[in-house]
Amino acid sequence: MENIEKKPIVKFKVITIFPDFFKPMLEYGVFSRAYKKGLISFETIDLRDFTNDNYKSVDDEPYGGGSGMVFKPVPLGKAIKKAKSKKETKVVYLTPSGRVFNSDIAKELAKEEELVFICGRYEGIDQRIVDLYVDYEVSIGDYVISGGEPAAMVVIDAIARHVEGVVKEMESVVKDSFYDGLLDYPHYTRPETYNGRKVPEVLLSGDHKRIELWREKMKLVETLTKRPDLLEKAKLTQTQKKLLTEIKEQLRKLT
Ligand code: 6GU
Check pocket membership of 55 for ligand 1, CB cut-off 6 A.
Answer: no
pLDDT given for residue 6 in this prediction: 43
Residue in 176, 184, 216, 222 annotated catalytic: 176
Amino acid at 240: Q
Cα(16) to centroid of ligand 1, in Å?
14
Q: What are phi and psi of 99, to 5 degrees?
A: -70, 135
Check pocket membership of 141 for ligand 1, CB cut-off 6 A.
Answer: yes
Q: How far apart are CA 34 and CA 36, in angstroms?
A: 5
Q: How far apart are CA 233 and CA 236, in angstroms?
A: 9
In contact, 116 and 138? CB cutoff 8 Å: no
Instruction: Set out the domains of the chain in order of their start, with CATH numbers.
Output: 10-170 (3.40.1280.10), 181-254 (1.10.1270.20)
pLDDT given for residue 122 in this prediction: 76
Residue 191, preceding peptide bond in cis (omega within 30° of 0): yes
Residue 200's CB is within 10 A of a number of other CB atoms, namely 12
pLDDT < 70: residue spans in the chain: 1-8
Specify which residues 115 forms β-bridges with.
Answer: 12, 90
pLDDT given for residue 176 in this prediction: 83
pLDDT given for residue 5 in this prediction: 47
Residue 112's CB is within 10 A of a number of other CB atoms, namely 19
- The pTM of the full predicted model, rounded to 2 decimals, is 0.93
Within 8 A by CB and 6+ apart from 7, the residues are: 110, 111, 162, 163, 164
Of 91, 123, 145, 155, which is best to mutate to test ligand 1, by the most ligand atoms within 8 angstroms of its C-beta?
145
Cα(196) to centroid of ligand 1, in Å?
43
> What is the maximum span of the chain, computed from C-alpha positions, in angstroms?
73
Check pocket membership of 140 for ligand 1, CB cut-off 6 A.
Answer: yes
User: What are the respective helix, strand and coil percentages of the chain, to the nearest 5?
Assistant: 45, 20, 40
User: Which ligand 1 atom lies nearest to the CA of residue 140?
Assistant: 9
Q: How far apart are CA 68 and CA 122, in angstroms?
A: 6
In contact, 59 and 147? CB cutoff 8 Å: no
pLDDT given for residue 3 in this prediction: 39
Cα 33 to Cα 25, 27, 37, 131, 155: the distances in Å are 10, 8, 6, 36, 17
48: exposed, middle or buried (Cβ count in 10 Å: 0-12, 13-18, 19+): middle
